[in-house]
Structure 1
Amino acid sequence: MSNPFENAMKQLDKAAAVMNLDRDIHTVLRQPERVLTVSIPLKRDSGEVELFTGYRSQFNNALGVYKGGIRYHPGVTLDEVKALSFWMMVKCAAVNIPMGGGKGGVIVNPKELSEGEIERLSRGYVRGVWRDIGSDKDVPAPDVYTTPQIMGWMRDEYEKLVGHDDPGVITGKALEDGGSEARSYSTAQGGVYVTRELVKKMNWIPEETTVAIQGFGNAGSYMAKILSGLGYKIVAVSDSRGAIVHMNGLDVTAVDTHKKESGSVSDFAGAENISNEDILELAVDILVPAALENVITADNAGNVQAKAVVELANGPTTPEADEILKEKGIILVPDVLANAGGVTVSYFEWEQNVKGEHWSEEDVLVKLEKIMVDAFDDIWGTKEKHTIDMRTAAFVSAIGRVAKKMSV
């Protein structure tokens, strides 16, 4: 298993070489500014106390307060959390929002805990990090296996400890607790905006553009529905149990209903069942990996037949696969741009909380569209200027913004 932080530093080094990054700034960007490790004693329902380890990596705050999710997963490692905090810095800077990079995690399998135990664990995590978070310092959010409910508990615990309201300390909250309109589908909506801009650059016609989406969870299913509504031809979708294809186009609404009723997209009437691996190798215009990381690898990248890849998932393409896709002339819109709609609307939530405002869904979407379109144009321009791939261009653009603030 490759080390995620080593991969992140390879990406930094690649961008640094293209842009002739100042050596001192390059050195500083090789480690987070602060890493917190906390021990969380949890009283189990049985009465026994069990100790859990949690992390918070605060990578860089040159552009604004640290920002990034907290994940609950048995596979959490310090290197993973550090890498994710670096990528959050890049993502915020790539779309030019005034936030820095942070990430948190607890080594735990939440499926083995009761709801009461998860609440006590969440409050315990905040008791470990509360002095270093806040709407003016570091703003966590949900991530893998964390929810708006967990965010609510964390905010409540934080406010008890500091003795005053601070709704902006956490984003990804439920709407009634100060969450933002459009947050539930913001990742997909941002992905749609950059897909639309890509299609314009390629001189394609939406109604003739075929799309395969691996992953029919929140982001993937919303992306399928929104693109379908704009006339794109969604020819294949998949979930953890399998995939379906119909090259004349799927009725996405009917597929959604079928999945809700049967538990999977498989066996949809009129479509052919294929595997989750097969969907990555279909001859389509756009492939959207919207599920897991590391699904396009050195082993299968040579078989990818799509003309473009839009990374709605985090890290779906390995560095080795990146090189293969580039050699094949496949344009890849990287995760730090393609799925940045989520963090952008998190930033909007924070801004609304800090200012005591609540924006309409229409206002949120207008602001999101401008940010995503401007970021796409900027990164496309960087790609053309340096004759590099879009991922490296995104890193060059983002790290350039961070470096400029660091040298001020």
Structure 2
Amino acid sequence: METSSIYTGKVFEMARQQFEIVADHLDIPDHERTRILMPKRALAVSCPIHRDDGSVVVYQGYRVQHHLTLGPTKGGTRFASSVDVGEVAALAVWMSWKCALAGLPYGGAKGGIAVDPRALSRRELEALSRRYMQEMIPFVGPHTDVMAPDMGTNEQVMAWFMDTYSMYQGRTVSEVVTGKPVGTGGTAGRREATGRGVAYLVGRAAETIGLRVSGSTAIIQGFGNVGSVAALTLEAAGAKIIGVSDHSAAYFDKNGLNVSALDAHVAKTGSLAGYSTESLFDAESLLVQPCDILIPAAVERVVTKKNASDLKCRILAEGANGPTTPEADAILRERPEIFVIPDILCNAGGVIVSYFEWVQGLQQLFWDEDEVNDRLNRTLERSFQAVSRIAKQRSLSTRDAALSIGVEVVRNAKATRGLFP
């Protein structure tokens, strides 16, 4: 299958390899594959801002929309130094399979700016956020492409996005983004949704393999929005969190860490660094420590062929996007003692509740947090059961089963609509 040369890099190659494996399982002809995999549209924009010292700096921004066959595209916007068009395209492709698996009327999208947001002042961050949205206005909208937060962005950035778009429309358009503060049209439970979804699915996987969450041990790589909420939720269910890490530090204590204290420290300082000296640990070695539940909730490509054989967990719950390389997948397929909750299922809670927020914004009818959580769990349950059923029926890994469902939904929709003109 030929692919465009603009989509390069290890992350996009991962997405392509995963698709090819599933396309082989589904017997998709070669002439159909490029249309299903390759993004519909990719945007690259320059975002100049005045820095606080008076200088002008230009940042590179991107937005990739994978397909609009089922409805508007949907996806986060990340601010990170590593952002490039290949990474953004891969994340958009994964979002398409994720939305299709969850039964949401979206195609996948993703955006980002190559910047370290921690190096910006609040004023600079606002200026960059608003400039990025200004450049995106011709290509986004409530029925075209709906943005959401991701790594390096948050509720405040979404509020700036929404306000910028609304100023150009001459009216408030709260539904153009999701993940906003509740006071400006957001939905209760959105910030916690991805982490809560991870914890819910860990519970379902534990039931499947006969593991009690209460009394189990967990290690979480990444203590941001997803990892911290998953840790707090699992701890509340009786699990012992024995290891955590972020970009700044890693901690391990087989007797259990104080998750609430860790969360409070991060809220105050912005990272795990400086929390403790007694339980400091090597971040790379953390992933291979014995535990019941391992949750990579940080970045892509951390479970590799070098460490996949050394994992000592019973459940691998992928809170991050693309944490497991295809080479590691091949090893895990030969390790049935590890139950893998693949990323497009495991971290779908965020986009599911983003969909709820979008619907509420369109209708101007809002739900309370209990209703949001109930709908979230029911949607995740349907997806979990579908993946389990397909994996059993077709003798597939859970990842290949999840991807098969997502790819089939998109493929069938494209076939039904036909090719225009």
TM-score between the two structures when normalised by the length of structure 2 = 0.89
Provide the rounded CA distance (Å) in 1 between the counterparts of 2:182 and 2:385.
32
**4+ residue segments displaced more than 6 Å:** 258-263, 265-269
1:395 is aligned to 2:408: no
Distance 1:45 1:230 in 2: 46
Q: Could you tell me which of 211, 230, 253 is aligned with 1:204?
A: 211
* 2:340 corresponds to 1:340: no
Report if the CA contact (8 A) 2:134-2:165 is conserved: yes
**Equivalent residues in 2 for 1:3-402, closer than 5 Å:** 3-239=10-246, 240-247=248-255, 249-256=256-263, 264=272, 273-329=280-336, 330-402=338-410
The whole-number CA distance in structure 2 between the counterparts of 1:31 and 1:261 is: 42
Rounded Cα–Cα distance in structure 1 between residues aligned with 2:209 and 2:358: 35
More divergent stretch after superposition (360-369 vs 40-49): 40-49
Amino acid at match of 1:184: R
The Cα offsets for residues 315-339 of structure 1, whole Å up to 9 and x where unpaired, read as: 2222211212222222211111111
Note the C-alpha offset of 1:250: 4.4
Which residue of structure 1 aligns with residue 4 of structure 2? Answer: none
**How far apart are the structure 1 equivalents of 2:51 and 2:267?**
34
Separation in 1, partners of 2:164, 2:274: 43
- 1: distance between equivalents of 2:91 and 2:296? 18
How big is each residue's C-alpha offset from its partner over 1:349-374, in whole Å with a ceiling of 9 and x where there is no partner?
11110110111000000100000111
Distance in 1 of aligned mates of 2:274 and 2:390: 41
RMSD, aligned CA: 2.4
The 3 A distance-change label for structure 1 pair 92 and 197 is same
* Structure 1 position 103, deviation (Å): 0.9
Letter in 2 for 1:407: A
Q: For 2:107 and 2:259, locate their aligned partners in 1 and report how far apart those are by CA, in whole Å.
A: 37
Q: Greater shift after overlay, 298-307 or 111-120?
A: 111-120
TM-score normalized with structure 1 length: 0.92
SS in 1 for 2:49: strand
User: Which whole-Å deviations, capped at 9, do the CAs of 1:159-198 have from their partners, x for residues lacking one?
Assistant: 1222232111011111111111011211111111111111
Deviations 1:278-309 (Å, cap 9, x if unpaired)? 32112222211122322221112221111221
Q: Which runs of 5+ in 1 are unaligned?
A: none
8 Å contact from structure 2 (residues 91, 321) kept in 1: no
Residues 72 and 144 in structure 1, CA contact (< 8 A), matched pair in contact too: yes
Moved more, 372-381 or 229-238: 229-238
**How far apart, in 1, do the equivalents of 2:136 and 2:214 lie?**
50
1:68-114 superposed Cα distances (whole Å, 9 cap, x missing partner): 11122232211111111111111111222111101111223334433
For residues 27 and 325 of structure 1, what CA distance do their matches in structure 2 show? Answer: 28
Identity %: 37
Tell me how far 1:268 sits from its aligned partner. 6.2
| Offset of residue 52 of structure 1 | 2.8
Give the direction of change, closer, same or farther, for the CA distance of 1:227–1:167 in structure 2 (3 Å limit).
Answer: same
Tell me, yes or no, if the aligned pair for 1:244 and 1:265 is still in contact at 8 Å: no
Amino acid of the structure 2 residue aligned with 1:314: N
Q: What is the distance in 2 between the residues matched to 1:186 and 1:318?
A: 25
Counterpart Cα distance in 1 of 2:393 and 2:295: 26
